[in-house]
Amino acid sequence: MNPLIKHLGLVEYPATLAAMTEFTMSRQADTPDEIWTLEHPPVFTQGQAGRPEHILIPSDIPVVQIDRGGQVTYHGPGQLVVYTLLDLKRLGLGVREYVRMLENAVIALLADYGITAYGKVDAPGVYVQMARDEGLTEEAKIASLGLRIRNGRCYHGLALNVDLDLTPFHYINPCGYQGLAVTQMADFGIQETPASLAAKMADKITQQISRQG
């Protein structure tokens, strides 16, 4: 059975975190999986092992301590956030395998727009090469991943930069990496919004899951 897709629009982070935690903790063996697509107002989220020194510049953007893996990242309007509430044990998926599947779903979506992207074994997420001066290129992150697994069931998910103000990424070491460049689909001339991409992204993830059946 394919996951139930819910498009939630712009929603506050704390309430959404509480909702997906409650869903995961209360679900039963036969509870259908769900995929939530949404945007958040500006917020920094700090993972379980997050180190405060990765927040470089204090600002009025709230910092929320959460239970996913990874360090600090930024969410804001213009970024497509996808929470994947899946029973990995039921699907027969390992965590590393599922991370690769999420990355491949983003890579496939970007390929539809002519953007070549790739994952990295040592640094979860999706990356691209950005053109710089004198014909040089620079690696930049276009999507981040962070998951939490409880009793074989996952929540949290991925964040794809579509068309947003990237300035807050300069206030942090994104995902704990000093000097990591961050980019978005708009920098490649793509005129889309999180809302216009939400169903396509959910479909790419569903396709990856279906291939495991």
User: Exposed, middle or buried by CB within 10 Å (0-12, 13-18, 19+), for 186?
Assistant: middle
How many whole angstroms separate alpha carbon 111 and alpha carbon 124? 19
Per the residue annotation, which of 175, 201, 205, 209 is the catalytic one?
175
DSSP 138-193: EEEEEEEEEEEEETTEEEEEEEEE-S---GGGGGB-GGG-TT-EE--GGGGT----
* Known catalytic residue at 154: no
Measured CA to CA, the distance from residue 175 to residue 143 in angstroms comes to: 11
Smallest Cα–Cα separation from 157: which of 202, 111, 193, 116?
Answer: 202
CB 100 within 8 A of CB 181: no
**Class of residue 184 by CB neighbours under 10 A (exposed 0-12, middle 13-18, buried 19+):** buried
Cβ(99)–Cβ(47) under 8 Å?
no
Q: What are phi and psi of 211, to 5 degrees?
A: -70, -15
**Which of the 8 DSSP states describes residue 55?**
B
Q: Which residues have a catalytic role annotated?
A: 175
